[in-house]
Amino acid sequence: MWRRLLGWYQTHRELRDRIACLETQLAAATVANVPKQPRSIRPPSARRSKSLQRIAFKVAYVGWPFYGFARHANEEQYPTVQGRILEALQETRLEHDPDTFSLAGRTDTGVSGVGQVVALDMQANVPYLDALNRFLPDTIRLMAWAPVSPTFNARLDCRSRTYRYYLDPLTARTLDVAQMQRAADFFLGKHDFSAFCRFSPSQKHHIRSITAIRVRHDHVEIKAPSFLWHQVRCMMSILFLIGQGFESPLLVCDLLDAKLKRDYPLADPRPLVLHSCEYNPPLVWQAARQPQRLFQHWGSYCSEQDTHAWIARACLESIQPRHTGKAKDGYSVVLGAGRSLWTTKRYTPVQQRRATEDYQSKRKKLSKSNKDDEG
C-alpha cells in the first residue's frame, strides 16, 4: 500500500510540474505576440534621480603605482585611482552615476593622498565603505563618507587644500631647516607663480595665494585654496637648493618677481601627499561600521613597507668600505625620496640658468597653431 501511495505521489508531482511548465510557455508566447507600446525616453540621470543620493568620500591612497588620480582614456595601460574606484562600484553592482563624479585634488603620477575628497550620486542607505573597500586594491581605501547636497562639487566647493612633502631621514640630515623656513615665508600671500609651475594651456593665469607654509624636520606643509600644475614640487625644488646652501632665501623673491621659469630639476613626486581638504560648512563624516578593518589593513600594509625598509637598510649597512664625506669634484642636488642629482660640473646659480619661454608667448603660439590647423 505504501509503495502504491509513494508511486502515485511521484507521478502526481511530475504531472504538476509539467502543467506548470506548459502554462509558463503559453504565457510567454502570448506576451510575445502582443505589440509593444512605445516607451518614453529619458536620460539615465532623470530615471535614477529619485533613487540616488550625492555622497562624498574621504579617500586614502598610495599613488606610486598609479598614473595620477583622474581617470585616463587607457586605464589598462595607465591605471588611475579614479578608475579603480569606478571599477569597484561596478563590482558591487551599487546603482550610481559616474558622470557626476568630482574630485578635490587632481594629484599627479606618483602623488599620494590621505584626505582626498570625491563625490558622486549613489544608491542611498547602503554600507558604502564595507561594500566598496572589498573590491579596491591594497593601496586604496575609502576612509569615511558624508551625505551632501545634490549640487555639491568636491572641486568647486573646496575652500582650501593642504599638501605635505615628507623628508626622509637621509635627506633631512643634509638640509638647513631654518634657512628653508626663511625662504618659505616669502611664498606667503598672493603671487604670480609662473616660475614655480609647469605650463598648462588650460591655465589662464598663474596667480595663487599661499595661506600657510611650515618647514619641519620630517615634512613641509603648504596650504592654499588651489595650486598650479607641479607647483608644490617646484617650490620644494627651490627649497632643497636653499636648504643645501646652494642658494640664498632671497632667490624665492627674485623668481616671484621675474615670473620666468628657470631650468632646475623637479622634486620627486613620491613624498608628496594631499593631506586634507576643507569645506564650509565642514562635511559631517561618517566612519565605517567596522573601523577595525581599516586599522588592520593599513597596519598590515605599514608592516610590509617597514620590512622592505629594514631589508634595504641591511643592504646599505653591508657596503664596505663605508662611504664618508663628499667627493672632491662635483655636487649632488637633493630631489626628495632619497633621490639626488649628481654632476661633476660646477654648480650654476638658478638665476644664471636658461629661462624657459614665458607662458604668454607659449599660449599665443598654441592659439596660432590651432587656428592654422582649423584653416
Query: Which cell is 17 given?
Result: 510540474
3-state secondary structure of 297: helix
- Alpha carbon distance 33, 359 (integer Å): 68
Contact by Cβ (8 Å): 353, 262:
yes
Rounded to the nearest 5 percent, the helix, strand and coil shares of the chain are 35, 25, 40
Output b/e per residue, 342-358; b: 16+ Cβ within 10 A: eeeeeeeebeeeeebee
Strands 272-279 and 112-123: parallel
CB neighbours of residue 305 within 10 Å: 11
For residue 214, give every residue at least 6 positions away whose Cβ sits within 8 Å of its Cβ, in sequence order, or none.
181, 184, 220, 221
Q: Which of 99, 108, 138, 306 is catalytic?
A: 108
For residue 86, give the H/E element and its range.
helix 81-92
Strand residues in the chain grouped as ranges (E): 52-61, 96-103, 112-123, 140-147, 158-166, 189-192, 207-210, 212-215, 219-224, 272-279, 331-336, 339-343
Active site residue 157: no
Residue with cell 563624516: 285
Contact by Cβ (8 Å): 251, 195:
no
By annotation, the residues acting in catalysis are 108
